[in-house]
Amino acid sequence: MIVLCSIVLLFAPVDAEAKPSCRTVSLDQLTSRSVPGIIVLGERPGVIADAKAAKRVVRRLAKKGPVTLGVEFVDAKRQPVLDRLALGRVSFEALDNVLAFQDDGYTFSVYRRLLAMPQHVEGLSLVGLGAPMRARPADTSVTVPPGYTMVMTDAMGEIPVPPELESRTVEMVAYHDTRVAQTALEAWTGVGWLVLLVDRTWVQGGLGIPWQLARMTDAKVDAVLLADAKSDCYPDDLVLR
């Protein structure tokens, strides 16, 4: 958790040279994408308005076909709980404790309605994507997006990573993005839509998780921020309106 907090601070918005205004996309435009397809939604963790926006996207897509919803607010290691929930073997009232939300730093009430969706929406399945931030293992390779260091440095502002740790930090974030992308793809049948709800930190700039997903699959990958959050945008950013 301490390492993750450090990375989030590293990406904190700063007053910098103005970037282009955020381009927007409507719910109709976003959900009219062809299938099979992948949509990565960047949220402000713990902000209920973003969780509600994600629910609107998923509900609209589910009217057209099956949806696999990968959520970062549930740790991947707790997937068996989500599977038992889908089978009716876990009481929804006990879900907060069983998923150990407090331990993982999330607020159950913010995501309650998203977790309840499979009970009311046909063809919707949930996948936990949460993964602790950790250094890339020495025996594992990772591909870093071109320009990733520049995007990260731009976001560091007054909390820069020391030069001697810069390369290691970039690799750590890229390794995290790769693990989340792999977990999501392995859980998807390739039918309908795969939707990922993740921290917007891993979505901004057209890099991060969407970039890694595009390397791993032939399916079309779209990335959308659920709010402009009064922050600057990079040229490849899209904001849901």
- Enumerate domains of the chain plus CATH numbers: 2-15+22-240 (3.40.50.11550)
Supply the pTM of this predicted model.
0.87
State the pLDDT at residue 210.
96
For residue 84, pLDDT over 70 is answered with yes
| Mean pLDDT (whole number) for 159-183 | 80
Sheet of 238-240: strand order equals 23-25, 238-240, 220-225, 37-43, 193-199, 67-75, 124-130
Helices 163-187 and 148-156, packing angle to 10 deg: 120
> Could you give the angle at which helices 163-187 and 2-10 cross, rounded to 10 degrees?
110
The mean-pLDDT minimum among 117-126, 201-210, 230-239 falls in 230-239
Is 74 a residue whose pLDDT tops 80?
Answer: yes
Read off φ and ψ for residue 54, nearest 5 degrees: -60, -40
Identity of residue 215: R
37 confidence band (pLDDT: 50, 70, 90): very high
Question: Per-residue pLDDT tens for 173-182?
Answer: 899 999 999 9
